[in-house]
Structure 1
Amino acid sequence: MTDNIIMEEISKTYLETIANGKGYFNSVARDYGTDMTIRRANYCSTKKRYLTIGKSVDLQIKAVSEKYVEGINDPTSTTIKYVLEAKNYNDLVTRANEGGICMPLYLCVVVLPDDKINWYSLNTNELIIRKCAFWYQVPDGASETTNSTSVTIHIPKSNVISESFYDDIFNTLS
């Protein structure tokens, strides 16, 4: 596999591991503008089994080494800058402007170290995936870009994906 494919697979594992740890799961692994659909199953006491709830979110995942993310290692910067393909940005805008008809689409930028030897480490006690991930949603009322190649997006560093990420976004769904 190429390094880019390996980075993509590590990134999916990173985000899926965080979801699984909080009781969510990846229900779809196809790429039609999304890389994952995250859902949750809750225990139904009357049926005495778990049932999938009707809420879900789609994730578009971008794996990138830190040298391609401006501001990632600058402690004075409150945002990171990421260059996103115009078609992917327009997909985010289209989904955001559907007015809640469909499930929300989040961009997840997973930043891995520049040196691939540091992407992960493993021993008998732990598996460590390095570095971090950030989420992004286009602002309300955003318009598609007329750029044909790319758009630079500014992601607040406070949008780091933590253990509460999935709980937080599912709590906003009606």
Structure 2
Amino acid sequence: MHTTKQMEDLQISYTSALCAAVDISYDTQRHDDDSTDAIIKKTIFLSNGCRFFSQLRIQLKSTCSPSQYTDTGDCIKYTLKVKNYNDLCTPSTMPIILCLLILPEDDSVWVNWSTEDLLIKGSMYWLDLSSAERSPNAEAVSVSIPKSNTVSPETLLNLLTKIAKEEWP
């Protein structure tokens, strides 16, 4: 299997495992013409007793090459294709975020398995570009993802809750 395909499979598995930890439904999309690789959804029960069917679209990216991203300490600078960037800036009835999985350079440590554990080594970060301006660039756009925007089970649950409370973006 080519390394790019492995990274794609790992970004899907990584996100799926995080969703499973907090009972969030995770659906991959067969076609991603609108830069939507997955949709997560969960029924959120609000404090006023109402329930809300909350959904969030996700554009998944992954890299293991320091030539594709820069860690500045506070953020990750990543070069995104302009088509994906502009899709993420386009107004929508269902919010969308970019999720970037950064894997180690050495692909032999990406997945560790034992009879007791399954470990995917890497970190995933998210970025909301819904209020950003579309880019006139022809090829790519550099984005800055705050390192405080780590993707965890709680992060995904909090994002869906914000959507349900109409606190998005």
Q: Is the TM-score greater than 0.5?
A: yes
The answer for the alignment partner of 1:20 in structure 2 is 20
Select 1:153's aligned residue among 143, 149, 153.
143
Report the alpha carbon displacement of residue 63 of structure 1 after superposing the two structures with TM: 1.1
The answer for the alignment partner of 2:57 in structure 1 is 58
Report the alpha carbon displacement of residue 80 of structure 1 after superposing the two structures with TM: 0.9
The percentage of aligned residue pairs carrying the same residue is: 27
1:31 matches 2:31: yes
Alpha-carbon distance in structure 1 between the residues aligned to 2:113 and 2:75: 31
Alpha-carbon distance in structure 2 between the residues aligned to 1:61 and 1:150: 16
Report the alpha carbon displacement of residue 41 of structure 1 after superposing the two structures with TM: 5.0
Alpha-carbon distance in structure 2 between the residues aligned to 1:138 and 1:35: 16
1:164 aligns to what SS in structure 2? helix
1:124 aligns to what SS in structure 2? coil
Aligned-partner residue type, residue 84 of structure 1: L
The answer to whether the 8 A contact 1:23-1:41 is kept is: no
Aligned-partner residue type, residue 39 of structure 1: K
Cα-to-partner distance string for 1:16-40 (whole Å, 9 max, x where unaligned): 1001110002134323221111112
The answer for the alignment partner of 1:6 in structure 2 is 6
The answer to whether the 8 A contact 2:44-2:54 is kept is: no
Unaligned runs of 5+ in 2: 46-51
1:88 matches 2:84: yes
1:138 matches 2:140: no
Alpha-carbon distance in structure 2 between the residues aligned to 1:41 and 1:27: 15
2:148 aligns to what SS in structure 1? helix
2:105 aligns to what SS in structure 1? coil
Alpha-carbon distance in structure 2 between the residues aligned to 1:30 and 1:92: 18
Unaligned runs of 5+ in 1: 44-52
1:125 matches 2:116: yes
The answer to whether the 8 A contact 2:43-2:53 is kept is: no
The answer to whether the 8 A contact 2:24-2:42 is kept is: yes
Alpha-carbon distance in structure 1 between the residues aligned to 2:53 and 2:157: 15
Report the alpha carbon displacement of residue 42 of structure 1 after superposing the two structures with TM: 7.2
Report the alpha carbon displacement of residue 145 of structure 1 after superposing the two structures with TM: 0.5
Alpha-carbon distance in structure 1 between the residues aligned to 2:74 and 2:13: 27
Select 1:108's aligned residue among 99, 104, 113.
99
2:152 aligns to what SS in structure 1? coil
Alpha-carbon distance in structure 1 between the residues aligned to 2:136 and 2:115: 51
Q: TM-score, normalised by structure 1?
A: 0.83
Alpha-carbon distance in structure 2 between the residues aligned to 1:139 and 1:40: 21
Report the alpha carbon displacement of residue 166 of structure 1 after superposing the two structures with TM: 1.3
Residue-pair matches, total: 156
Report the alpha carbon displacement of residue 139 of structure 1 after superposing the two structures with TM: 5.7
